[in-house]
Amino acid sequence: MNKLILSVAIAAMLMLNLCSCEKDELEYSINNISVVVEEGENWIHDFPLFLGIDLKNPPQFAIWIEDTAGNYISTLFVTKRIATEGWRSNGGNRRKEALPHWCHQRGVIYDDGLYLPTKNQPLTDGISGATPKSGIELKLQPADYLRQFVIKAEFNHSIDFNDSFPENATEGDFNYSGGNMGSGQPALVYSALINLESEINEYTLNLIGHSSPDGSNGDIYNDLSGITTADKIVKQIILRRN
């Protein structure tokens, strides 16, 4: 009898798993474009929780497109913490220094005067999702009129301090990055000009600079001399035409 009970229970467990295995296929059709972010050696960053326990944090990032004149068109993907104000252990810091170039290019000002989506007004243009533990792949299908555009990506870790962007920097100094729950090393911005009229089928996004360390503006700074580890968050970002 016990064997019978055990058999029924094991069958139930197997059915639980077999019934639920629905796989989605990532398929590409002609003229689709894939955007692939390959994680670098610093993709995962230690974020201290309590009692010496560290959380393995992936970065916050946004990928978006602009026209060739630098006007924002749309977000393709942004991590959910910044898209939904889903920060934790941030001590009330809205993290405007996380992805300031994306925020300012997008140009949406919220009730508190910041360019950051809120819990009540989360991002609605583009896709937001949990930060993957490794790289991601997106499938992009531009409309027929969009033959030339710029694709940009911005990456940032919180509390990624170094000697150039220390935790104890004073507010108002250039290297102030939001205090003890701030960024440390500022967000890095990658970019590529895409021309679908050309015969080039693969583009690599180039590192073009870092964002405002304290998030006070949307400028890009070309001097990367203070960056020690943030440039290894991503290995490469590639756009391919299929």
Residues 40-59 that bind other proteins (CB under 8 A): none
Q: Does 193 bind other proteins (CB under 8 A)?
A: no
Q: Measure the CA–CA gap between 190 and 206, rounded to whole angstroms.
A: 5
Q: Does 20 bind other proteins (CB under 8 A)?
A: yes
Residue 18 has φ and ψ, to the nearest 5°, of: -65, -40
Sole window of 130-138, 186-194, 208-216, 230-238 interacting with other proteins (rule: CB under 8 A)? 130-138
Sole window of 12-20, 90-98, 168-176, 193-201 interacting with other proteins (rule: CB under 8 A)? 12-20
CA nearest to 153, candidates 87, 80, 75: 75
Looking at the DSSP assignment, which residues form a beta bridge with residue 32? none
Residues 71-110 that bind other proteins (CB under 8 A): 73-74, 76-77, 80, 83-84, 86, 88
Sole window of 125-133, 186-194, 202-210, 233-241 interacting with other proteins (rule: CB under 8 A)? 125-133
DSSP symbols for 66-129: E-TTS-EEEEEEEEHHHHHT---S-TT---TTSSHHHHHHHT---TTS-SS--SSS---SSEEE
Residue 193, token pair as written in the block? 């000009």
Interface with other proteins (CB under 8 A): 1-2, 5-6, 8-13, 15-17, 19-24, 26, 65, 73-74, 76-77, 80, 83-84, 86, 88, 122, 125-130, 132-133, 136-143, 146
